Structure 1
Amino acid sequence: MIAYLGTGLLGSGFVRAMLAKGEQVRVWNRSAAKAQALAEYGAIVCATPAEAVQGASRIHMTLKDDASVNEVLQAALPGFAPGVVIADHTTTSVAGAIERTALWKEQGFTYVHAPVFMGPPNALESTGYMLVSGDQDVIAGLMPALQRMTGKVINFGPETGKAAGMKLAGNLFLIAFTAGISDTLSLTHSLGIPATDLMDLFNEWNPGAMLPARLKRMAGGVYDKPSWELDMARKDAGLMIAEAEKAGRPLAIIPAAAAEMDRWIARGYGNSDWTVIAKDNL
């Protein structure tokens, strides 16, 4: 028997996939209607977290944050079976993941933080990526169950909380990436260029292919052989900002990047490769 606590978009996808594979799953959600919707697929809907975890050998969770995870686990505690394993797929703080791992171990239970890069369709189809780190013996025991839930489980080694940190780093990139696309669309709209033309450009020229080389260059800390000088990048940023403002569509992200460029130019790095803006972060 498996218990699943938190059956929002992601959790419900996981539950439906488990049920389709023949698992027995007891579910609970703060908004009862979301849990009740899974009854038609064969889930056993429970009124409380403690009821949901009764008889479960493994507990899965997808909640909002550290506070909700702590609250729900405490509410579920009276129903815990001896030695039960808790797999938490919530995006949380690093400190929270470390604290919960130690706390539940002291009480005789196993907590593993396993955040994901998965949307609802991935959860339903058992594709996407799941991250883990910590006690490698514990992870080895849990790995077969996690592998059935996702396309790939990435193990970041024995450091407890590292998976939480990697999830936050990945999400930061996704946020910055999406905000950059938003600014790009704002600029092209300002210039009277339709989004379809932008798609045509990226179909021919894929800037995403540059990511590994760009990251390697920035992490390497060598900026004295520029492929794009910081002064020139700042000039282009100024053109972008001016065009968008002229059309009454100010950009959100590029002005902050321009301010960072100005800071480095003032420090004498105008002729360096523009990736020098990462210098203090290494």
Structure 2
Amino acid sequence: MSRKIVVLLNKKAFTMSIKAFLGMGLLGSNFVKAMLRRGDTMQVWNRTASKAAALESDGAKAFSDVRDAVKGANRIHVTLKDDASVDAVLEQASAGFSPGAIIIDHTTTSKDGAVQRTAYWKSKGYTYQHAPVFMGPSNALDASGYMLVSGEPSVVDQLTPELSVMTGKLIQLGAETGKAAAMKLMGNSFLVCFAFTLRDTYAVAKAQGLTVDDILGLFQTWNPGAQVEGRLKRMTSGDLSKPSWELDMARKDTNLFLEAAEKGGTHLSILPTIATVMDEWIGKGFGQHDWTIVANDLRD
């Protein structure tokens, strides 16, 4: 059974739950430090034992055996690498699970993996709740950033108070199991593309003798990020036969990007692929449509 410690302070009783945390990377270790500061009793484990042991100076109790790390804990938090590592570690740890323990997994995983784990652990008598995050180590330490949850409403409602204190905003996505995982992957795909977009933007700028300050100066006056919502709506539901920027013209400019980079001796990562996709749509006869026609095959 789960254990609890009751502390009397200023004649008020405060309940400190015993929690286990598996995975002491940068994110997990800072989550643990923040939990300790909030008064939780933390039992920690990491495959590389030294990373867990380092948290003992902050007040956590480290275990080399994951089965021992989860004993007595009614909440088992997880931040690991992927579906395979989550499945392997939880299976190994399960011999030490307390009856009714709730597993809260912050790992970025596949949607299918989250759905399967929810059903599997329910069949074993435990609750599995996926709660992926848009948070870095500093966010985990100061409870900022964003955490996503979806699934059984009664479980989400039960966990909302304790998850809310771990993050700046807890985003509830409804009753669909696995939707939080899907939304996290979608968001991360944007972040990856965004980074490579900035990389190619910098490459085109550098090839023409422009500096980072030049880029920042333009973006401070003209904010392309303000176009995201409108561009997505137009791309997915607008009338693309009435262009604001023709695909032919966008392709002409893309060729200028490519030429400038080649002349300046800088390497481009994504613009050559973009040019290829544009050429495919122009070849289909859509050159005089809005340039966002390149996503037409994805429209509902």
> Of residues 109, 117, 136 in structure 2, which corresponds to 1:100?
117
SS of the residue corresponding to residue 148 of structure 2 reads: strand
> Of residues 128, 134, 138 in structure 1, which corresponds to 2:151?
134
> Of residues 63, 73, 95 in structure 2, which corresponds to 1:46?
63
- In structure 1, the partner of 2:243 is 226
Give the partner amino acid of 2:154.
D
* 1:281 partnered with 2:298: yes
Q: Computing the radius of gyration over CA atoms, which structure comes out larger, 1 or 2?
A: 2
Q: Which moved more, 1:216-225 or 1:103-112?
A: 216-225
Name the % identity: 55
Distance 2:30 2:159 in 1: 20
- In structure 1, the partner of 2:11 is none
Q: TM-score, normalised by structure 2?
A: 0.92
- Ranges in structure 1 where 5+ consecutive residues have no aligned partner: none
* 1:210 partnered with 2:250: no
> Of residues 141, 150, 160 in structure 1, which corresponds to 2:177?
160
Q: Which moved more, 1:152-161 or 1:66-75?
A: 152-161
> Of residues 27, 34, 48 in structure 1, which corresponds to 2:51?
34
Deviation at 1:213, TM superposition (A): 1.0
> Of residues 250, 261, 275 in structure 2, which corresponds to 1:258?
275
- In structure 1, the partner of 2:141 is 124
> Of residues 166, 174, 189 in structure 1, which corresponds to 2:206?
189
* 1:90 partnered with 2:107: yes
* 1:270 partnered with 2:287: yes
Deviation at 1:250, TM superposition (A): 2.6
- How many positions carry a matched residue from both structures? 282
Distance 1:218 1:114 in 2: 30
Give the partner amino acid of 2:60.
A
Distance 1:79 1:86 in 2: 13
Runs of 4+ in 1 over 2 A off after TM superposition: none
SS of the residue corresponding to residue 38 of structure 1 reads: helix
Distance 1:155 1:254 in 2: 36
Q: Which moved more, 1:95-104 or 1:29-38?
A: 29-38
* 1:111 partnered with 2:128: yes
Q: TM-score, normalised by structure 1?
A: 0.98
Give the partner amino acid of 1:183.
D
Q: Which moved more, 1:239-248 or 1:2-11?
A: 239-248
* 1:74 partnered with 2:88: no
Deviation at 1:222, TM superposition (A): 2.0
SS of the residue corresponding to residue 7 of structure 1 reads: coil
Deviation at 1:221, TM superposition (A): 4.0
Q: Is the 8 A contact 1:241 1:250 kept in 2?
A: no
Give the partner amino acid of 1:59.
I
SS of the residue corresponding to residue 151 of structure 2 reads: coil
Distance 1:254 1:169 in 2: 21
Deviation at 1:263, TM superposition (A): 0.8
> Of residues 21, 40, 53 in structure 1, which corresponds to 2:38?
21
Distance 1:119 1:281 in 2: 31
The C-alpha deviation readout for 1:227-275, integer Å capped at 9, x for no partner, is 1111110001000011101122131101111111111111111111111
Distance 2:195 2:139 in 1: 20
Distance 1:245 1:79 in 2: 60
Q: Is the 8 A contact 1:127 1:149 kept in 2?
A: yes
Q: CA RMSD in A?
A: 0.8
Distance 2:111 2:284 in 1: 34
* 1:178 partnered with 2:198: no
- In structure 2, the partner of 1:7 is 24
Q: Is the 8 A contact 1:100 1:111 kept in 2?
A: yes
Distance 1:222 1:147 in 2: 41
> Of residues 236, 240, 253 in structure 1, which corresponds to 2:257?
240
